[in-house]
A and B are shown apart, each in its own frame.
Chain A
Amino acid sequence: SYVLTQPPSVSVAPGKTATITCGGANIGSKSVHWYQQKPGQAPVLVIYSDSDRPSGIPDRFSGFNSENTATLTISRVEAGDEADYYCQVWASRTDQYVFGSGTKVTVL
């Protein structure tokens, strides 16, 4: 099965930039989507199709995907960005959807 690997945690100071990686074999050939989940809440889509932002998501959130790593970048981090972040792809070889293991972003 297709595996997506994320770092368990990322810490960042307010106003700085947080970078969350999502590793997978040749992930650059897939379309990657990112979700934000705050404690006790349902996940919310923040990036789709590698780098597109849904309406209502600040432009501080951006995405990039190439070769074996996709990246979610949060610029000018705010306290409200503290959450778990998950990447997701469609694994066509197995006809399954796959989530990454999740990254907890802590704002210092």
Chain B
Amino acid sequence: QVHLVESGGGVVQPGGSLRLSCAASGFSVTNHGMHWVRQAPGKGLEWLAVLWYDGTTKYYADSVQGRFSISRDNSENTLFLQMTSLRADDTAVYYCARERGTPGWLDPWGQGTLVTVSS
């Protein structure tokens, strides 16, 4: 059964860093594009980043370009999002998701992990 579990969220001060993890099971992250998407409280979905199946092609949203970095550990079958220079408006639930039909659709999604940027 395909399953994604995010972890690593928490409270961080403005200007700080945090690394999110997304553990995948039931499939290999080396065979699929993998995404990070976030949702600020009461707001819509915002796409952040993708790492395609080749392991080298990465794309980012303008809002996080240069601050966030997506990567994966093939041996652990885990996706990461390294976040730096965090700001209050980065406060959100962060989801990882598997891609199909690259470039295509996201299915399934993890349950999300909450990141709060506050002093």
Contact = CB atoms under 8 A, between A and B. Distances in A.
Interface of A: 1, 31, 33, 35, 37, 42-45, 48-49, 54, 84, 86, 88, 90, 92, 95-102
8 contacts: A1-B62, A42-B110, A42-B111, A43-B45, A49-B101, A88-B45, A95-B59, A101-B44
B31 to A, nearest CB: 18
A46 to B, nearest CB: 10
Contacts of B108: 42, 44-45
A43 B109 contact: yes
A107 B51 CA distance: 38
B109 A97 contact: no
Contact size class for B?
Answer: 20 to 34
Contacts of A49: 101, 104-105
Given A43-B95, A49-B105, A99 B61 contact: no
Nearest to A101: B44
Contacts of A98: 47
Nearest to B103: A90
A33 B106 contact: yes
A33 B46 contact: no
Nearest to A37: B45
A33 B62 CA distance: 22
